[in-house]
Amino acid sequence: MSRNPYTLDDAPKVKESICAFFDILGFKEKVNSAKNLDISNERLKHFHSSLRVSANFLENKKYELVTEDGISVIKEKDAYINDYSLRIFSDCFVIGYPLKDYNKIGWQGGKEIFTIMEKLSQFQLRMSLCGYLLRGAITIGELYMDNDI
């Protein structure tokens, strides 16, 4: 079975989704300055470890907002790896999260938006603590993602 939420019976399928695209501010300048200072390998190691630790949060953990004794809390829950698709290339990131259910007022995407915003805020916090700031956008529309597209 495919890990990709954009396949159905191993065939590609376009789905109404939340799509987040973001990149690292000033990445090109960091690469160029590292080259000029002859510290490219050190800079790469730092970026690679920062990305690996931060992206691990995007890939493996899932949280939900629950109410316990009248208090709203965020709790970790079992991850459903097929819920969304993540692609990382160079200093760019794309997350596609297919919308699933309508809520009581007929608006689709509440759970997915909460999850994306929570994951991106934690990812941005972790990357900023390592010296990398992010910029990007989130939109809703038809999307298909796989390893090639």
The CATH number given to whatever domain includes residue 22 is: 3.30.70.1230
Of 86, 100, 61, 73, the C-alpha closest to 147 is 86
pLDDT greater at residue 106 or residue 50: 50
- For the chain, what is the domain count? 1
pLDDT at 103: 55
Nearest CA among 86, 124, 116, 76 for reference residue 99:
116
The set of residues, in sequence order, having a beta carbon less than 8 Å from that of 22 and lying 6+ positions away, is: 92, 93, 120, 134, 135, 136, 137
Q: Which domain holds residue 95?
A: 7-54+81-143
Mean pLDDT to the nearest integer, 23-29? 91
136 part of a folded domain: yes
Establish if 70 belongs to a structural domain: no
Q: 71 lies in a domain? A: no
Residue 108 forms part of a structural domain: yes
The confidence band for 19, taking pLDDT boundaries of 50, 70 and 90, is: very high
Confidence of residue 101 (pLDDT cuts 50, 70, 90): low
Q: State the pLDDT confidence band at 132, using cuts at 50, 70 and 90.
A: very high
Which element (helix H / strand E) includes 17?
strand 15-24
Q: Rounded mean pLDDT of the chain?
A: 80
pTM above 0.85, yes or no: no
Tokens of 147: 């390893």
Residue 95 maps to a domain? yes
pLDDT of 94 above 70: yes
Residue 43 included in any domain: yes
**Residue 97, in any domain of the structure:** yes
Copy the structure tokens of residue 100: 């699933």
Band the pLDDT of 1: cuts 50, 70, 90. Answer: very low
Q: Give me the mean pLDDT over the 42-69 stretch.
A: 74
